[in-house]
Structure 1
Amino acid sequence: MGNGRGRRDGGRKHPGGSGAALCEVYDTALLDLDGVVYAGGEAVPHAVEALGVARAGGMHLAYVTNNALRTPGEVAAHLTELGVPAAAGDVVTSAQAVARLIADEVPAGSRVLVIGGEGLRVALRERGLVPVESADDGPAAVVQGYGGPGMPWGRFAEAAYAVGRGVPWYASNTDLTIPGARGIGPGNGAAVEVVRIATGGRAEPKVAGKPLPPMHRETVLRTGAQRPLVVGDRLDTDIEGAFNGGVDSLLVLTGVTDAAQLLAAPPEHRPTYVAADLRGLLAGQPEVVEVADGGFRCGGWRAFVRGSELALDGVPGQAGEVMDAVRALCGAAWTEADGPGAGVPDPRKALALLGV
């Protein structure tokens, strides 16, 4: 079972196991939204049912998102419409985290130039700051957050004017992409790069969102979690954020990260647990065991390195769950990648066998 403290000793060598369901082991699930609970406005398959069972069993569900576009109330209303009952207090956004960061560093009542959606404006007002629209309004700071696909190009120009004049620059997050119903689109990180390029690449924003400490701080303050489990679909935000915060994590393969990316994960991107979707909260996690004849075993699968490739012993449909094979492959891949002078073994044949 995960130790509840994460790892800061170079990262884990294979996914962890748990004899009890994860929703029984951890008191609070810190759930990412895009790619985990919903995508493009629609619920991810099995998410509504799984979260309902976890909640009924006593697990507190908190929704932690780097998307700063909507207010917590709007996010909660959307979740409730999807069949996941939530209140505004159950939602923590990067807009709230960056607003606290700004409020700690500028005088009370300062004006802040907003390049983003209503979620940023509401969060700034909550901290006693005044949102403004123009670089000529005398802002003490400029903040960028995801503004949706309809963000006018002129908003980026306002940010560039202010940053170019030396106004302190903040970003809710720097995720380069965001999942949607039609595929993967550009996220707030792409918009930040627009402003960076326009200002000559010299300025650097202070960032609040996952995987950085301000977001973890905001989440802990707002949820009061004692035994949290971070649940996400992104290695470079959700899982690295859990690693930085010293807490356990569950990666679900319903969003940005696929199995090949998981196998290539560096130490700080390796989750405690792995599941196909949110039904992973409702079950234990099988142990991944290093075996004497080489490689790692999970369920009926054995994964090992053959030359420069990952290989599997096991027959689909007979050796057990496909995710058990993925967990065993993680052990073989991560251990090999951490060896002296070793790289990540090629996973393509093994994953083709599994159809993932």
Structure 2
Amino acid sequence: MSTGKRLVDGYDLVIFDLDGVVYLIDRPIPGAVEAVAELHRGGTPLAYATNNASRRSGEVADLLTALGVPATADEVLTSAGAAAAVLAQRLSPGDRVLVVGAEALRAEVREAGLTPVSAAGEAPVAVVQGYGPEVGWADLAEACVAVRGGALWVATNTDRTLPSPRGPLPGNGSLVAALRTALGREPDVVVGKPEPELFATAARLVGARRPLVVGDRLDTDIEGAVRAGMDSLLVLTGVSGAADLLAAPESRRPTFVAADLSGLFEVDEAVRVPPVAVDGWQLDGDGLSGSGAVLDALRLLCAATWAGAKVRPTSSAARDAFHTLGL
């Protein structure tokens, strides 16, 4: 039911994904700095939950601050930190862990009281695998030997891709897939989204009872929110686009959709998906006609497509909307 208030006013915590939502690699996404500033002015608690295991929480907070988004390390939850915590719970202090990933993951393992190593010959009892731009065949080979020898295999996340200015590039999930193929089995533990723990931890830390997850990926952010029992906002500034949204199974459908973070300040029913009603657009059988906001057309298409219809444009404005949405 619509509250008639801004979307954000219905929640006591906003949990942001980072890449594709707040920034793209090292640049803020247009409107993100202003949106976060508006949330700060309104006193809305914020958290940042990222599957990226190549930076530590403090480094992420410093990056955000440098981009004009003031943040503290305790507001940032990374899959690297979460993976190290899982290992610390399962292993004994000082146990050796073969680290496949960036230096940030190695540092998290060390801070958790464990001993990071680089080779299977050093007798690791576990392998932790996270994204790192320098990860290569030799690293995967050492991990393969260690896991075959009985080491616990923990993946920070299984994101198939990560966003970049040149489009999606291979993510940690692609590297996990290479090792999965070689080993013929799945990791023992996957820590990051779509597993719900990052979101649940963020809510616990501030005592939030009604958090909102904001992400750009249906297969991690939105599915993770669904698994955690939280509402979610999909922003179309990163990986998942309109076609992905229309094809999404129920487990990956957001509560709201917006072009960018400005959607946080829209009236809740103006970004809810599927919509109760929209102005200007009409569905007549399998045809979309009329005219209006492109995002309203997308929300109406979700209602029809998720109900099993295959919709085609039947007005010039509808054809333009399909083209804009890449449909």
Give the structure 1 partner of residue 163 of structure 2.
179
Instruction: Say if 2:155 and 2:187, in contact at 8 Å, map to a contact too.
Output: no
Alignment of 1:45-124 (within 5 A): 45-124=30-109
Which is richer in helix?
2
Cα deviation code 1:110-166 (max 9, x no counterpart): 211100112212322332222111112221110000112x32331111111111212
Report the TM-score, using the length of structure 2 for normalisation: 0.90
Instruction: Say if 2:288 and 2:314, in contact at 8 Å, map to a contact too.
Output: no
- How far apart are the structure 1 equivalents of 2:240 and 2:135? 26
**Percent pairwise identity:** 49
Instruction: Say if 1:304 and 1:329, in contact at 8 Å, map to a contact too.
Output: no
- How far apart are the structure 2 equivalents of 1:36 and 1:59? 18
Cα deviation code 1:158-204 (max 9, x no counterpart): 111111212110100001100011111000000111112223x1353
- How far apart are the structure 2 equivalents of 1:239 and 1:32? 10
Instruction: Say if 1:98 and 1:214, in contact at 8 Å, map to a contact too.
Output: no
Residue range with higher mean Cα deviation, 95-104 or 345-354: 345-354
Does structure 1 residue 238 correspond to structure 2 residue 221? yes
Does structure 1 residue 268 correspond to structure 2 residue 251? yes
Residue range with higher mean Cα deviation, 124-133 or 81-90: 124-133
Q: CA deviation at 1:223?
A: 4.3
Write the letter of the residue equivalent to 1:260. A
Task: Evaluate the alpha carbon distance shift between residue 159 and residue 18 of structure 1 in structure 2; reply closer, same or farther with a 3 A threshold.
Answer: farther
Give the structure 1 partner of residue 26 of structure 2.
41
Larger RCO, structures 1/2 (Cα 8 Å, 6+ apart): 1
Alignment of 1:94-243 (within 5 A): 94-148=79-133, 150-199=134-183, 201-243=184-226
- How far apart are the structure 2 equivalents of 1:97 and 1:348? 46
Q: CA deviation at 1:23?
A: 2.3
Q: CA deviation at 1:304?
A: 5.1
Alignment coverage as a number of residue pairs: 320
- How far apart are the structure 2 equivalents of 1:326 and 1:187? 28
Task: Evaluate the alpha carbon distance shift between residue 297 and residue 217 of structure 1 in structure 2; reply closer, same or farther with a 3 A threshold.
Answer: closer
Does structure 1 residue 353 correspond to structure 2 residue 320? yes
Report the TM-score, using the length of structure 1 for normalisation: 0.83
Cα deviation code 1:248-303 (max 9, x no counterpart): 0000011111111111111111101111000111221336999xxxx973132234
Write the letter of the residue equivalent to 2:303. G
SS of the counterpart of 2:237?
A: coil
Write the letter of the residue equivalent to 1:313. S
- How far apart are the structure 2 equivalents of 1:347 and 1:74? 47
Give the structure 1 partner of residue 277 of structure 2.
297
Give the structure 1 partner of residue 289 of structure 2.
313
SS of the counterpart of 1:251?
A: strand
- How far apart are the structure 2 equivalents of 1:256 and 1:180? 9
Cα deviation code 1:225-256 (max 9, x no counterpart): 33210000111111111110101000001111
Does structure 1 residue 281 correspond to structure 2 residue 264? yes
Root mean square deviation, CA, Å: 2.3
- How far apart are the structure 2 equivalents of 1:152 and 1:77? 28
Q: Any gaps of 5 or more consecutive residues in structure 2?
A: none
Instruction: Say if 1:288 and 1:296, in contact at 8 Å, map to a contact too.
Output: no
- How far apart are the structure 2 equivalents of 1:100 and 1:304? 54
Give the structure 1 partner of residue 242 of structure 2.
259
Q: Any gaps of 5 or more consecutive residues in structure 1?
A: 2-16, 338-343
- How far apart are the structure 1 equivalents of 2:236 and 2:90? 38
